[in-house]
Structure 1
């Protein structure tokens, strides 16, 4: 068994890797390196409950501080890993020290994509970002959000809940068009407009600055705060500099091994070979939660493959949903249930095979949706749309 495992990344994936090592009986040295000064924490609350004030600060942390001591995990927070020396088996840190390793878990996550020119605006990626933005929300305050992706829309919902005036600018015709397609994107648009969001769709942004956004045609929009939510970029530089295979993220096999068998990669950075969808990289919480257990098992010589379906969820006003699978927005859409009442299932099909499914305010169908996707069997769209037909009978 390896004498030393270094986990690089102080988020959910890093903490779950440490937990998996100890649960697997690894009794060697475990060092967790995190760039932020905080204990490892989860990111979904940053744009949901913690941002709108309904969740306590302690709820975002994966484990309390005592857990790390009780499990003999050495935390090196507030420092970054600057270089992996694969020949010397050393990780060099930003404070000038080095840590020896036998195995490495890379869990470096993603960073917010910046607007060109890096203007003085807010982003929502870290705990500090969420706390700073929360202070600028509330009655009598306004926020202007660039980007109607998941982060932008969840932040809009949180801001409205706190009483802020909200404007969202998005160049696409509907929110989330690439993921959900035109029809479901229109449902999201109507949801936000019905709650009072000034949603500017099909609107290109020419420039952003502290308190203002200039849109196509020269109109200048102003607000107390400007939040840019235009996606994320995987932190792969450390892996690339170490000579690991990198394309759309860090290339890993079915067991999450990188091109170096002593190094695994998990979470946002893992460009994973999935048994159904092929090579995909998914920037969602479920991968950070579930991939570390499989990656650690493989590091310890217990062969496993990561086969879970991609999964994410959102809560925006009365719209609560879960999404499983991996589809393109232009795949065939089939809906069963009432979209008007926001109680329905949506499915995306390619050549008659269900690639993804979404349950909106329907909470007892998740396992059946997953089983249908995993079966990869062709289905009749008319029967799929019929609530009288059990999903298991398709």
Structure 2
């Protein structure tokens, strides 16, 4: 009987355990979760759960009885400390040890934090990654309070949108010259800047944070010499992969746990999936921070752990909800040299990224049709005529 041990109880860890059980009814599966809650979905945390529109139990991927029924041993509230590769054992912080035939690392990622010298650990400064983070932050969301959001990526913008919808006074600062600079074209940045500003969010770009000071309230001092008094702060400046467990075990890490096309590390008995991994994509090694990749890669790894050896080929897609706009992204825009803008019905828009004549990615804002067709083209390796894309009267379906 195969002993499969999974370190990390997020979306990837759950997907891997569930897939492994469906493929191998007789295997012994242990899923180790650092958090005390049952494995849960994260995307609603910064949206419906923060707005109190979703109960805690609705976040859970499965009820507790599922794990018993499936014969999955669920260990909650415990962290892995060390991998003993010679003995093939995973040791926890409380010195429990689990022998494995195959070990999967689905340790996820953690928020990048402000240094303590800048005030990153002050009371009233929050980071948004897990259920406990949101529970601690939620009481601050009261109408009329003032919040500073640090970071103009998708997490920061989603938090700003929820705060503005809750009638808070919202200021967002981004050190880069524009919001979303790391992940999107100026055309997408412009769309979301306008959206937030029309909803009352004060967006300040090209401004860094010097420090936070705490008295009865928090004073934020910025790189341009200005200062602002706020009631609390949300920090959204990116995430870092939880790869220390792998690194300490001597496994190659490079901004994430390095895996091959099967999801295997340099140790033939140790695998990894989800936000913690660095995986092959086209001619590069990348890290994909998305629920879709966590699920798909984990399911592929589960099959490969059990002997299938099937290549995992990512088909990246992402989404973000801000106010009444649904952003859907297909593909990766790395290396683009042109953006073609297509106007859609009812104020929607899609931005199509090309490298030469090759379609790389699509950002679709309230344009589900543009997203669907763009995604299908990218996955098929086909590129449409750019003039057709930009023509709002052209039938997108004809591009297929």
Matched, 1:302 2:308: yes
| 1:347 corresponds to | 352
Matched, 1:13 2:12: yes
Among residues 310, 315, 337, which one is paired with 2:321 in the alignment?
315
Determine the C-alpha separation between the residues in 2 that align with 1:257 and 1:102: 14
Among residues 119, 122, 135, which one is paired with 2:121 in the alignment?
119
User: Number of paired residues?
Assistant: 391
For 1:213-224, list aligned pairs within 5 A.
Answer: 213-224=220-231
| 2:154 corresponds to | 150
Tell me, what secondary structure is at the counterpart of 1:226? strand
Determine the C-alpha separation between the residues in 2 that align with 1:83 and 1:348: 43
Matched, 1:258 2:265: yes
Matched, 1:162 2:166: yes
C-alpha deviation, 1:144, in angstroms: 0.8
Among residues 368, 373, 383, which one is paired with 2:378 in the alignment?
373
Q: Can you give the 5+ residue segments of structure 2 that lack an aligned partner in the other structure?
A: none
Give the CA RMSD over aligned residues.
1.8
> How has the CA–CA distance of structure 1 residues 81 and 188 changed in structure 2, closer, same or farther, with 3 Å as cutoff?
same
> How has the CA–CA distance of structure 1 residues 330 and 212 changed in structure 2, closer, same or farther, with 3 Å as cutoff?
farther
| 2:141 corresponds to | 137
Please give the per-residue CA displacement for 1:19-53, whole angstroms capped at 9, x wherever unaligned.
Answer: 01111124222111111111111111111111112
| 2:48 corresponds to | 49
C-alpha deviation, 1:243, in angstroms: 1.3
Work out whether residues 21 and 29 of structure 2, in 8 Å CA contact, stay in contact via their aligned partners in 1: no
Please give the per-residue CA displacement for 1:111-144, whole angstroms capped at 9, x wherever unaligned.
Answer: 0101122431211111011111111002122211
> How has the CA–CA distance of structure 1 residues 53 and 331 changed in structure 2, closer, same or farther, with 3 Å as cutoff?
farther
Which is further off, 53-62 or 141-150?
Answer: 53-62
| 1:245 corresponds to | 252
Q: TM-score when scaled to structure 1? A: 0.94
C-alpha deviation, 1:209, in angstroms: 4.2
Work out whether residues 275 and 290 of structure 2, in 8 Å CA contact, stay in contact via their aligned partners in 1: yes
C-alpha deviation, 1:370, in angstroms: 1.9
> How has the CA–CA distance of structure 1 residues 50 and 166 changed in structure 2, closer, same or farther, with 3 Å as cutoff?
same
C-alpha deviation, 1:390, in angstroms: 3.1
| 2:396 corresponds to | 390
C-alpha deviation, 1:302, in angstroms: 1.2
Work out whether residues 335 and 355 of structure 2, in 8 Å CA contact, stay in contact via their aligned partners in 1: no
For 1:262-301, list aligned pairs within 5 A.
Answer: 262-274=269-281, 276=282, 278-301=284-307
> How has the CA–CA distance of structure 1 residues 338 and 161 changed in structure 2, closer, same or farther, with 3 Å as cutoff?
same
Determine the C-alpha separation between the residues in 2 that align with 1:200 and 1:366: 30
Please give the per-residue CA displacement for 1:139-162, whole angstroms capped at 9, x wherever unaligned.
Answer: 122211111111111011111122
Q: Can you give the 5+ residue segments of structure 1 that lack an aligned partner in the other structure?
A: none
Work out whether residues 384 and 391 of structure 1, in 8 Å CA contact, stay in contact via their aligned partners in 2: no
Please give the per-residue CA displacement for 1:331-354, whole angstroms capped at 9, x wherever unaligned.
Answer: 311111249x43122211112111
Among residues 208, 212, 221, which one is paired with 1:208 in the alignment?
212
Matched, 1:93 2:92: yes
Which is further off, 30-39 or 201-210?
Answer: 201-210
C-alpha deviation, 1:67, in angstroms: 0.8
For 1:154-193, list aligned pairs within 5 A.
Answer: 154-193=158-197
Tell me, what secondary structure is at the counterpart of 2:127? coil
> How has the CA–CA distance of structure 1 residues 163 and 315 changed in structure 2, closer, same or farther, with 3 Å as cutoff?
same
> How has the CA–CA distance of structure 1 residues 329 and 315 changed in structure 2, closer, same or farther, with 3 Å as cutoff?
farther
> How has the CA–CA distance of structure 1 residues 179 and 272 changed in structure 2, closer, same or farther, with 3 Å as cutoff?
same
| 2:333 corresponds to | 327
Work out whether residues 178 and 328 of structure 1, in 8 Å CA contact, stay in contact via their aligned partners in 2: no
Determine the C-alpha separation between the residues in 1 that align with 2:368 and 2:385: 23
Work out whether residues 325 and 365 of structure 2, in 8 Å CA contact, stay in contact via their aligned partners in 1: yes
Work out whether residues 119 and 209 of structure 1, in 8 Å CA contact, stay in contact via their aligned partners in 2: no
Determine the C-alpha separation between the residues in 2 that align with 1:148 and 1:356: 21
Work out whether residues 84 and 249 of structure 2, in 8 Å CA contact, stay in contact via their aligned partners in 1: yes
Q: TM-score when scaled to structure 2? A: 0.93
Please give the per-residue CA displacement for 1:179-205, whole angstroms capped at 9, x wherever unaligned.
Answer: 112221011111111000111111111
Tell me, what secondary structure is at the counterpart of 1:74? strand
Work out whether residues 312 and 323 of structure 1, in 8 Å CA contact, stay in contact via their aligned partners in 2: yes
